[in-house]
Amino acid sequence: MVYVSSKNGQPLMPTNRHGKVKHLLKSGKAKVVRRCPFTIKLLYDSTTYTQNLTLGVDTGSGTLGAAVSDDNGNIIYMAKVVVRNDITDKMTQRSKYRRNRRNRKTRYRKARWRNRKNTKKTDRFSPTMTSKFHSHVKEIEFIQSILPITQLVLETGQFDMHLMKNPAFANPNVRHWGYQKGINYGFENTKAMVLNRDNYTCQYCKGKHKDSKLEVHHIIYRSQGGSDEEGNLITLCHTCHKALHDGKINPKFIGKKKGTLKYATQMNSIRCQLLKFYPNAIETFGMVTKVNRLSTNLEKDHHFDACVIAAGTNPVVMKTKIVYLKKSVPKGDFQQTKGIRSEQPITTGKICGFRKYDKVKYFGREYFIKGRMSTGYAVLMDINGKKADFSHLPRGFKTPKLSNCKRITARTSQMIQVVTI
């Protein structure tokens, strides 16, 4: 599928007439403006007639799917985007570097507190959520730049997180204050109930230690997903509780884990932002998508879900077999040095004309640069980050040289790979 834009940059209908496209390029009546997906721009005046196209987006906290369909259910674009989930780790690492540098460079400077604008402004969206939201907006705006989209349909997960955990919040008399208190509100009441249930007796030593200090222990730790329900709590004396956490005893208690709603919570926030950003978008739900997908016998995947969302009640017809797999990456490398005392500088610019995450061709196949060496060698990977193995190549080519790599596209905030279904 070749995507076309007019002389003024207005997106037109795509075409499968590759012979016509070659003729336009050879005669100088069009030029290539993008390699992936392949897009041309006409250099002469043409009609701007277009059909109605619907963009369906299967929103997600980890991966989102996008597809474009016409009024007859013909799919002309599919993409799957993996969003970033490393923002928190990157910010924590940056904070450590900054703190270490300040301890070395400005040892006697008075500590500062709350001197960041983000900590003071209202309606603040966390960096992780901002990155996920921007990934959705970027893909939607990119598709709108190559195709004449007339309608946007978003699949969002819409359910009340607090209400799922505590049905009492449905009561309007409880709702206004219940939402201000977290899920652990009232835990002291649960602890008192557990102590009473266990007859105020340590359930391991049965009172042999004569320790009057009783504590409530999580059988499955909170850090491991354990719940705060009474089925995951047990009474222990202080002596046994300390011995258990020190690893001196290993009782065989059976606990209960809680279901995680982390990603559903994130999607609730992203949903609100998307509907605010695109007020004319149509909202649909996962249960509707599932029923329609099962009727079309499509596999469960984000881009197939997006196809069903875009086609609506029409049968899905694949006019393209290409899925653009995209993965969001940082825009640049900001770590300048490495080592215990930051004595080893790290090259963040180009080495032999290449940067990290550049898309290159090596022995006829496409890869991404994972790492570069000042000696001129490189480490290549696929879009999933798996290191490429060249042990089967002749001697001298097992470790790729940058001089033997041909760059296809320069580094951007997304790595793109074409997958045929």
Write down the pTM of the prediction.
0.76
* CA distances (Å), origin 133, targets 77, 191, 251, 272, 298: 21, 39, 45, 10, 27
Sequence-ordered list of residues with C-beta below 8 angstroms from that of 400, at least 6 positions apart, any chain: 362, 377, 378, 379, 380, 390
Domains 53-85+126-160+263-328 and 337-411 belong to one CATH topology: no
What's at 280, amino acid-wise?
N
Tokens of 214: 């009783």
CA distance 421 to 405: 27
Q: Where are the domains of the chain?
A: 3-42, 53-85+126-160+263-328, 187-245, 337-411
Q: 266-280 burial by CB neighbour count: b if 16+ within 10 A, else e?
A: bbbebbebbeeebee
CATH code for the part of the protein at 53-85+126-160+263-328: 3.30.420.10
Q: How far is CA 235 from the centre of its chain?
A: 40
CATH code for the part of the protein at 337-411: 2.30.30
Closest CA to 11 of 137, 156, 123, 144: 144
- The pLDDT tens digits along the chain (421 residues) read 999 999 999 999 999 999 999 999 999 999 999 999 999 999 999 988 999 999 999 999 899 999 999 999 999 999 999 999 999 988 888 888 888 888 888 888 877 777 777 777 777 788 899 999 999 999 999 999 999 999 999 998 644 555 555 565 555 544 444 445 555 556 677 788 888 888 889 999 988 888 888 999 998 888 887 888 888 889 999 999 999 999 898 888 876 555 556 777 788 888 889 999 999 999 888 878 888 888 888 988 999 999 999 998 899 999 999 999 999 998 877 777 777 777 788 777 889 999 999 999 999 999 999 999 888 999 999 999 999 999 999 988 999 999 999 999 999 999 999 999 8
